Chain A
């Protein structure tokens, strides 16, 4: 009996612990006040596949900031499923900036009163300095001949994709598949529903996050195709994996936005450095960096330079579904389309 009780406490306590560990970690750091010492710490709470990008960017930004202001800044990044990260920030993880997989998660933080509801208007391009889309990653040579969305429904195909309830990337993937079906069937929602239900029947494993799904596909050898972020697919290939990237005819314009968390930066007096941290992502130099980590840059010139890496693809946006709030409610909330397809609906 005791055991159950303790496990329950552990699960509940884990939240508080995770939050306090974050806070504690920061408090142990150097003084963050605006005194002459000027050694600043910044916490970027990000989603799953960005770890490589921000590990590189953070070091470069620190050099740049030092040259510009003479101050030292050390940025640490926390990575995890986008929804989980947002929840951690709401529960008290001291994020100076958030760089998440989708606007809905930052909206949730805004709803909790940590930043302005108009956050997405504060930086150019919907506060998304880079975009991505959803593509297919197949085994080397594409042995099953997967070319486009209809191929995924074949009986002999196993699809690896993360759980859209927990993974932001998986939500984009779900919407990409559903959006394709809607266009294909002239907006017939019933047929799109059938498509997406058949799609998930071919999914043997639902990982909690995008990176987990990638590892299931690459390291565990499960499935014929990984449906994931374009950047994640490129990264798997760049890390020496023998895979082919297949770009479908139509996909979704995935916008992973960034924002400064007002309440935290005001407490930490880190607003200036936090804002610079995000604004710098838009400069040509760092647009080039994001392209090298396989995110589609916003800057037209940089985009032209990397055109070979990012094949032209017909993209539709989240507005197809009336924005994130509507899409979340219709597809991913309790009893939504995703629940229906698993409940035999």
Chain B
């Protein structure tokens, strides 16, 4: 019934639905179906044999753990940066605001090279950290740093507009009613920001899972230690193992879909809990 009503209101509903479905099929579903089809040539037992090898499992562990930690870090610092950008005006804030988007625009390999130059034992930051026994470039920590870098703008750009729209009056009301600063943040501001923060986290996480260019330059790329799934896929391709690459890609697809689904459900839960 809803559809019938909408088709009445929206001009060209059928046409736009058709275009949408066609676009989605050609751009999204078709390539993915091709990948799943490629993976299918291995057969179930072949798939299991490949995907249960320690090297593949190790790469998934590295990818998932690093992406999750990086997205969490990006969420914390992204929120902080967004807050500062919205609530304070300092000389050059416009430039700072524009710089937030740099990781979007920068070719990720350039980011990787820049980060590894900076954090290498003979680099500016790496040189300072090396005497302390901290190594970032060419370790799994480097993977985390690169993923945080690419994830940060997703959080900032999803939180920022919500912060901008927040009424200062709400905070003032909370203050008048005797809430402290922390209480105001925790009970008034944070619940309002949370859905957008979740969205930013999700995008940063998804981006981090698929990230390749920046990571391979700063990671030591060692199997079981700092080899990420996308690199493993490229490795399979370079051994002319197209089906193996597709199989790992498919597992990655299924896993990320599940993770994103869970996050989406959580987000909905948070929203209904808040509105209730």
Per-residue CB contact flags for chain B residues 199-216 toward chain A (1 = under 8 Å, else 0) read 000110011011110001
Kindly state the separation between the CA atoms of A220 and B234 in the bound complex, as whole angstroms: 24
Question: What residues of chain A lie closer than 8 Å to B222, measured between beta carbons?
Answer: 203-206, 342
Pick the contact of B35: A4, A7, A12, A84 (CB < 8 A): A12
Number of A-B residue pairs having CB atoms within 8 Å of each other in the complex:
124
Kindly state the separation between the CA atoms of A84 and B216 in the bound complex, as whole angstroms: 15
- With A4-B210, A83-B239, A87-B237 as contacts: A339 and B32 at CB distance below 8 Å: no
Kindly state the separation between the CA atoms of A343 and B231 in the bound complex, as whole angstroms: 17
Question: What residues of chain B lie closer than 8 Å to A11, measured between beta carbons?
Answer: 210, 212, 230, 233, 249
A208 within 8 A of B: yes
In the complex, identify which listed stretch (A124-132, A257-265, A317-325, A328-336) lies at the interface while the others stay far away: A328-336
Question: What residues of chain B lie closer than 8 Å to A334, measured between beta carbons?
Answer: 50, 53, 236, 239, 241, 244
Pick the contact of A1: B50, B206, B211, B241 (CB < 8 A): B206
Per the 8 Å Cβ criterion, residues 228-279 of A in contact with B are none
Q: Are A216 and B138 in contact (CB under 8 A)?
A: yes
Q: Are B221 and A206 in contact (CB under 8 A)?
A: yes
Kindly state the separation between the CA atoms of A61 and B180 in the bound complex, as whole angstroms: 79
Per the 8 Å Cβ criterion, residues 5-31 of A in contact with B are 5, 7-13, 15
- With A335-B53, A344-B54 as contacts: A13 and B31 at CB distance below 8 Å: yes
Minimum Cβ distance to chain B for residue A241 (Å): 14
Minimum Cβ distance to chain A for residue B188 (Å): 30
A86 within 8 A of B: yes
Q: Are A5 and B28 in contact (CB under 8 A)?
A: yes
A222 within 8 A of B: yes
Per-residue CB contact flags for chain A residues 118-139 toward chain B (1 = under 8 Å, else 0) read 0000000000000000000000
B179 within 8 A of A: no
In the complex, identify which listed stretch (B10-18, B165-173, B256-264) lies at the interface while the others stay far away: B256-264
Q: Are B239 and A8 in contact (CB under 8 A)?
A: no
In the complex, identify which listed stretch (B79-87, B89-97, B115-123, B190-198) lies at the interface while the others stay far away: B115-123
- With A207-B221, A342-B222 as contacts: A8 and B249 at CB distance below 8 Å: yes
Q: Are B260 and A333 in contact (CB under 8 A)?
A: no
Minimum Cβ distance to chain B for residue A199 (Å): 13
Kindly state the separation between the CA atoms of A144 and B128 in the bound complex, as whole angstroms: 25
Minimum Cβ distance to chain B for residue A334 (Å): 7
Minimum Cβ distance to chain A for residue B78 (Å): 15
Kindly state the separation between the CA atoms of A4 and B230 in the bound complex, as whole angstroms: 12
Chain B residues touching A, majority SS? helix
Nearest B residue to A220 by beta-carbon distance?
A: B120
Per the 8 Å Cβ criterion, residues 64-121 of A in contact with B are 81, 83-84, 86-87, 90, 108
Question: What residues of chain B lie closer than 8 Å to A166, measured between beta carbons?
Answer: 234-235, 238
Q: Are A205 and B240 in contact (CB under 8 A)?
A: no
A165 within 8 A of B: yes
B273 within 8 A of A: no
A221 within 8 A of B: yes
Kindly state the separation between the CA atoms of A86 and B239 in the bound complex, as whole angstroms: 10
Question: What residues of chain B lie closer than 8 Å to A335, measured between beta carbons?
Answer: 53
Q: Are B221 and A208 in contact (CB under 8 A)?
A: yes
Kindly state the separation between the CA atoms of A219 and B223 in the bound complex, as whole angstroms: 23
Find the residue from A5, A87, A108, A221 having the highest chain B CB count within 10 A: A5
Nearest A residue to B264 by beta-carbon distance?
A: A1
Minimum Cβ distance to chain B for residue A78 (Å): 15
Per the 8 Å Cβ criterion, residues 52-73 of B in contact with A are 53-55
Kindly state the separation between the CA atoms of A332 and B121 in the bound complex, as whole angstroms: 31
Q: Are B235 and A220 in contact (CB under 8 A)?
A: no
A3 within 8 A of B: yes
Q: Are A222 and B237 in contact (CB under 8 A)?
A: no
Kindly state the separation between the CA atoms of A11 and B31 in the bound complex, as whole angstroms: 10
- With A83-B238, A165-B239, A343-B55 as contacts: A4 and B257 at CB distance below 8 Å: yes
Question: What residues of chain A lie closer than 8 Å to B28, measured between beta carbons?
Answer: 5, 9
- With A9-B31, A165-B235 as contacts: A222 and B260 at CB distance below 8 Å: no
Pick the contact of A3: B55, B206, B238, B240 (CB < 8 A): B206
Kindly state the separation between the CA atoms of A252 and B271 in the bound complex, as whole angstroms: 65
- With A205-B220, A334-B244 as contacts: A8 and B238 at CB distance below 8 Å: no
- With A87-B237, A165-B238 as contacts: A222 and B120 at CB distance below 8 Å: yes
Nearest A residue to B139 by beta-carbon distance?
A: A204
Pick the contact of B239: A5, A12, A332, A343 (CB < 8 A): A332
Kindly state the separation between the CA atoms of A10 and B210 in the bound complex, as whole angstroms: 10
Kindly state the separation between the CA atoms of A11 and B253 in the bound complex, as whole angstroms: 12
Kindly state the separation between the CA atoms of A3 and B216 in the bound complex, as whole angstroms: 20
Kindly state the separation between the CA atoms of A222 and B217 in the bound complex, as whole angstroms: 13
Q: Are B122 and A220 in contact (CB under 8 A)?
A: yes
Nearest A residue to B256 by beta-carbon distance?
A: A4
Query: Would you mind naming 28 contact pairs between A and B with Cβ atoms under 8 Å apart?
Result: A1-B206, A3-B207, A5-B32, A8-B31, A11-B230, A12-B31, A12-B34, A12-B249, A15-B237, A83-B239, A90-B240, A108-B240, A165-B239, A166-B238, A203-B222, A204-B138, A204-B220, A205-B220, A206-B220, A208-B221, A222-B121, A334-B53, A334-B236, A335-B53, A342-B55, A343-B53, A343-B224, A344-B54
Residues of B near any A CB (own CB < 8 A): 27-28, 31-32, 34-35, 50, 53-55, 116-117, 120-123, 137-138, 202-203, 206-207, 209-212, 216, 220-224, 230-231, 233-241, 244, 249, 252-253, 256-257, 260-261, 264
19 extra A-B contacts, CB within 8 A, seeds A3-B203, A12-B34: A1-B261, A7-B210, A8-B210, A9-B31, A11-B210, A12-B31, A83-B238, A84-B237, A87-B240, A208-B221, A220-B120, A220-B121, A220-B123, A222-B120, A222-B138, A334-B50, A335-B53, A343-B55, A343-B224
